[in-house]
Structures are given as C-alpha cells and as structure tokens.
Amino acid sequence: MNIPKYELIKTLATFNPWWKAEPIADLPSWKRAAFHELFSWVQNPPAPRAVLLSGARQVGKTTLLLQIINKLLDDGIPAANILYITFDHPIIKLAGIDLVLEAWRERQPKTGAYEYLFLDEAQNIQDWGTWIKHQVDFNKNRRIVFTGSAMPLLHTQQESGVGRWHTIRLSTLSFYEYLHLKRLSSSLPTLPQLKSLRDLFTWSQKDFYHVTEISEPYVGHFHEYLMRGGFPQVALIDNITSAHRLLRDDIIDKVLKRDMTVLFGVRRVLELEMTFLYLCMHGGGLLDMATLGSNLKIAQQTILHFIELLEATHLIYRLPPFGYGKEILRARYKVYLADAAIAPAVLMKGKTAFDDPGDLGIATETAVFKHIYTRYYAQSLRFTYWRDKSEKEVDLIAELGSEIIPFEVKYRFQHTGVRDLKGLLHFCETKSANIGYVITKSLSDFGLLKEIKNPNTKIMLIPAPLLCYWMGESEILQGEF
C-alpha cells in the first residue's frame, strides 16, 4: 500500500529511539533465562538461521527483544544497523516489510558489517515464511529475530522454513523468575543451587532437614504465583481481580476473538470460546473428544481443529500417551493450560479460585508440567503420560533417548507413601525406570522414599514450591536432567 514515506519514517523513529542516541524507556534490568540463549544466537549464530521467539501474548517477547537491542548497543553495534518494528502497528502493517526496510535505509544509512532486524508479531507479514526463507538464503549479512504469538499453521510456510530458523519458546514466568520480577528473592532464605534434580540423590538427611526448615516462606509466595500466574504485566498487579480481568481480556478478546479470526479465518468464535472454557474447567485431564462434542454440540472434527489452534496460540499443551505405534493409535491426549492462572481468570473465580483442594491440585500439576516442559524441551525430550487398562497412571513421563523418568503430582496434606504410588511404582518396574519423582505439598514430605522394596528403583519426594523454584533456576544454570 502507498504509505507516505515521511509518515513511515516518523513511525520507525518512534520505535527506534537509539537512532537519536536516546535510551530505551522503562527497560527492566533483570533478564529472563531465555535472554542468554537468544543473545548467543544474535551475537554468534551457531548456524545461518533466523530466530523465532515464540510465545503467547503478554508473555514478555517485546521486552526481551529490547533488552537484546540494548546489549548490542552497549557492545558497540552501530545504532543505524539495528531495526525494531512491530507488525501490530497499523502503519507498519499497511506499508509491508519491503517498504519498511526501504524507509529504514533512507533514514539510517548502513555502517558496519551486519544488520540486525527485530520483527515483532511477524505473523502479520504477508507470506512471512517465504520472506524469511529468502532473507536467510540470500542476505547473509542480516541477523533476524522475529516473534509470533500466533504463527499460522500453513504447511507450505512450515516446509519453506525448514533449516531457516531456530525456535526459542518463551513460556510464562517460572516461579524463580516470578520471585525476581516481584523483587522478593532478596527477602527470602537462600536455597542451595541444583544443576540437576539428580543432585538430590546425593544429599544427606541433614541437607533435607535444613532446606525444610528454611523454605517455609516460599510456600505462600508459591500459592500467590499460582493465583497471579506467570504473565509479567499481570503478575505485577496487586489486585487479584484486576489482574484476572486483564488476563481474561488478553486471552478472550485479543487471542480468541481477534487473532483466531484474522490469522486463522475462524468464524465460529463462540464455539471456539466454548471449547476453551471447557478446557479451563477440565485442565490436566484426559481429552475425551466424544464427550466434549456431545456436551458442546460441536462436531469432533471441528473441536480437533480448535484444539490445534489453541495449541498454536500457546494457550494449551497437549500431552500424548506413553508408547508407540498401535499402543497410542486410539488413545486420548491429556491437556494442560499454558499457565495455572488462566483457568481462574477466564472462569472469573477471583480470590476463591483455589479454596477447593481439587482446583489447587490441578493448578499445581499445571505449574509443575509447565516448569519441567519449559526447562527441558530444548533438549528434544519427548513428554507423555501413562495409563494402563486397570487405570493405574503416571502424570508425566520424560523420555530422553533410552532413559525414562516419571513424575507424579500428589499435592495434598497427607504424607505420600508407597500405597499412594501404585501406578508410579508399577510403571518403574515394568518399564525399567530407575528413578522417579513425586511432587508433594508438605515441606516435610521431602526426601528419598524409603519404603520401596525394589533396590533398583529410587523415588524422590519434592515439595512443589521447591521443584518449581529449582526448575526455573536450573534453566539459567543450564543443568542436565
């Protein structure tokens, strides 16, 4: 579209204050774990690829891009060679990427070797996959980072992007990151660092007693974290009702009603919203397509399409059953919401969200899954759940090559013993899993489970606040499983 060049240049100058040697306003000094991986790709790419920073709306993608830009400027990269644009802006969207780049170079002539392009909400670029493929193939002096909160599921674009970009998935805040964002860490007792959960198997009983004694202040903050969630802007709002209203508006209005219509062509928005509300009420459970379709009076094929779209917009995770081939051909998926606070916000439960122990247990299981998935997905782990014909089950299985590591969430006041873990122990014995983890509620429920008769199986009990804290911390420490 023919946008006046002066209007476009004025808009670009607003988004790129460093061109006038002005600082980036309101930029937090604290950085998320993903900062280090993203900066390494921008500074010295291990392969000639662009980088896709993928995540839900309001998860902090733009802030992360601006922090990377600030670091490049501090390292001496010429300001003229750095461009940030967001394709959510109407003038940028109307102009298109080619006219934007032309205006950039008219306003800021190139100096130095590399150009750095930061393209926010790139799914709004026409034929974005083909454009990025062309840039990577033919413009070797450009380093491109682009974000997407709802990247369209177009097979042609996915195929064109094979080998052209590296994906970094930005989830909602971990519990560790939440404490730092809220500036609570300095007032809490210092916990020992863990680079791997396996470190716990080397601890003495004295070590477990010590951490149990000092970690009590973390419990209340963990429950607040479950209530407020891990969306940075929402987490900083003191009033729970206001925080939930903002989160609900972002999800319902911007994702379900806008992104789904504009990017995916969804016209049956009410049915999509009903599907999502159903998932909010049954998070962490098995997805029974027949029951869901019958309850909502929506065709199963339509629901399946909606589920795929909700996953593409980073609102849910789907967990397949453990096994391969015929074992899982007709099995059901397990669905987790992307953040524990989504369900109470969308269902308008307010401060009473977790008065029901069952709801609190589901929220904790959601948070535990999110932390483990976020910490290890880059290592190409396969995450599944397990359930046999007698309905013994395990909440989460992490498969790393030939190694299988099960996790079970038992978030309740009672002590967790062998009789409560029949599914987990049966799985360990039949699938040759040597270690397993049980996520508990009470801080006193912490340490090696001693009643196990099988000497080849070791089960570690870990309170949920500690597990989530260490998973977030080890994401920065880059520890192994």
Confidence of residue 98 (pLDDT cuts 50, 70, 90): very high
Confidence of residue 274 (pLDDT cuts 50, 70, 90): very high
* Alpha-carbon distances, residue 420 vs 39, 427, 430, 454 (angstroms): 45, 13, 18, 16
Tally of CA atoms within 13 A in the half-sphere of 204 that contains its CB:
3
Please state the rounded mean pLDDT for residues 170-187. Answer: 94
The β-bridge partners of 398 are 383, 405
- Within 10 angstroms of residue 351's Cβ, the number of other Cβ atoms is 12
Residue-level pLDDT at 149? 79
Q: How far is Cα 367 from Cα 230, in angstroms, rounded to an integer?
A: 10
Kindly list the strands in the beta sheet with 50-54, ordered across the sheet, starting from the edge strand earlier in the chain. 82-86, 115-120, 142-148, 50-54, 165-169
SS3 175: helix
Residue-level pLDDT at 151? 63
Is the pLDDT at 325 greater than 60, yes or no? no
As a whole-number percent, the residues of the chain with pLDDT over 70 amount to 94
SS3 307: helix
pLDDT tens string 43-59 = 999 888 999 999 998 89
Residue-level pLDDT at 286? 86
Q: How far is Cα 52 from Cα 119, in angstroms, rounded to an integer?
A: 10
Domain extent listing, the chain: 5-170, 176-477
Confidence of residue 389 (pLDDT cuts 50, 70, 90): confident
**End-to-end Cα separation, the chain, in angstroms:** 51
Instruction: Judge contact between 58 and 229, C-beta under 8 A.
Output: no
Q: How far is Cα 45 from Cα 67, in angstroms, rounded to an integer?
A: 18
Residue-level pLDDT at 160? 52
Residue-level pLDDT at 156? 40
Q: How far is Cα 289 from Cα 278, in angstroms, rounded to an integer?
A: 11
Please state the rounded mean pLDDT for residues 240-261. Answer: 88
SS3 38: helix
Is the pLDDT at 192 greater than 70, yes or no? yes
Residue-level pLDDT at 152? 59
Domain 5-170 has CATH 3.40.50.300: yes
Confidence of residue 336 (pLDDT cuts 50, 70, 90): very high
Is the pLDDT at 154 greater than 70, yes or no? no
Q: Which residue has the tokens 């601006």?
A: 66
Residue-level pLDDT at 172? 95
Who contacts 444 (Cβ-Cβ below 8 Å, separation ≥6)?
212, 415
Q: How far is Cα 76 from Cα 268, in angstroms, rounded to an integer?
A: 51
Is the pLDDT at 158 greater than 70, yes or no? no
Please state the rounded mean pLDDT for residues 337-353. Answer: 90
pLDDT tens string 425-440 = 999 999 989 999 999 9
